[in-house]
Amino acid sequence: MQLQTYVSEPTESGKYQISKFNITQNCYVPIKGEIYSFETIAKERARELNEIESYDNKINSLSIDYDTWGIVDTIKTFNELKSRENLLTDIEKQLLSDSHKKITAWNIRVNEVGKSYENLKEKGITGKEPPFKYTLKILRE
């Protein structure tokens, strides 16, 4: 089971607090101002915070992978090859196919992040809006 970053914990006063796991201290540390009278409300708040963190991690991962995957270069390669598709060598045809697969895989990832964002919005939870630069369209299809 994966360790949750945010949890609800009972307090000495009989209320419930939200605590965040501190990696350095290797324990949960209460978050100031996150105290609730009912356990169900505290658990729901902890779940919301974990959802927001998960979404933020996906956005950060996209940002890193955008460069790592070489998406801009892949699109340039795809478009250049697609523009002269009837004149391609076998190697270029394979490169065109590989570029298309990479762009498709990337768009699937971006769409998953977009769905996570929409799910948060439907629940009334605000998160960072996904950057549009990650949504790709194949220019010449």
Return the bridge partners of 36, or none.
16
Q: How many other β-carbons are positioned within 10 Å of the β-carbon of residue 5?
A: 18
Tell me the pLDDT tens digit for each residue of 3-46: 899 999 999 999 999 999 999 999 999 999 999 999 999 999 99
Query: What is the pLDDT at residue 98?
Result: 96
Backbone angles phi, psi at 10, to 5 degrees: -70, 150
Tell me the pLDDT tens digit for each residue of 39-74: 999 999 999 999 999 988 888 888 888 888 888 899
Domain coordinates of the chain in residue numbers?
6-134
